Amino acid sequence: MWTKYSENFSDFYGLGILAQQQIPPANSYTVSCLPWIKFDHFAVHSYDNKQYYFPSIEAGKFIQQGNTINMPISITAHHATTDGWHIKLFLEDLQNAMNNPQE
């Protein structure tokens, strides 16, 4: 299952999840949320699907520690298609979004 992306969250949310017969288009990635689970490590390995190169991002339960709220996140990526620089940029953007939810 996959959905198209839109920069505008309201538009993106309104697209819903579409059950598709074909694989997602190029430059896709997998996001799953496990908001009831705290984890230290989570990885998705697709041993049967050798052509699966999409990065996979998993987010877990928010945990408050003092004045800080933490969220575990795991990224599984194939180095043939995803490099560390782009993961760094993604994590910086995610941190900025978490620090500034009003934007």
Hey, which residues are catalytic here? 79
Domain annotation covers residue 12: no
- The 10s digit of each residue's pLDDT in 2-61 is 667 778 878 777 766 655 666 666 677 777 888 888 888 777 766 666 676 778 889 999
- The pLDDT of residue 78 is 80
- The pLDDT of residue 81 is 80
Domain annotation covers residue 2: no
Note down the domain range covering 55: 29-99
Domain annotation covers residue 9: no
Residue partners of 16: CB distance under 8 A and separation at least 6: 3
Q: CB–CB of 73/60 below 8 Å?
A: yes
- The pLDDT of residue 61 is 92
Number of domains in the chain: 1
66: left (phi over 0), alpha (psi -120 to 50) or beta: left
- The 10s digit of each residue's pLDDT in 58-101 is 999 999 999 988 889 998 888 878 888 989 998 999 899 888 88
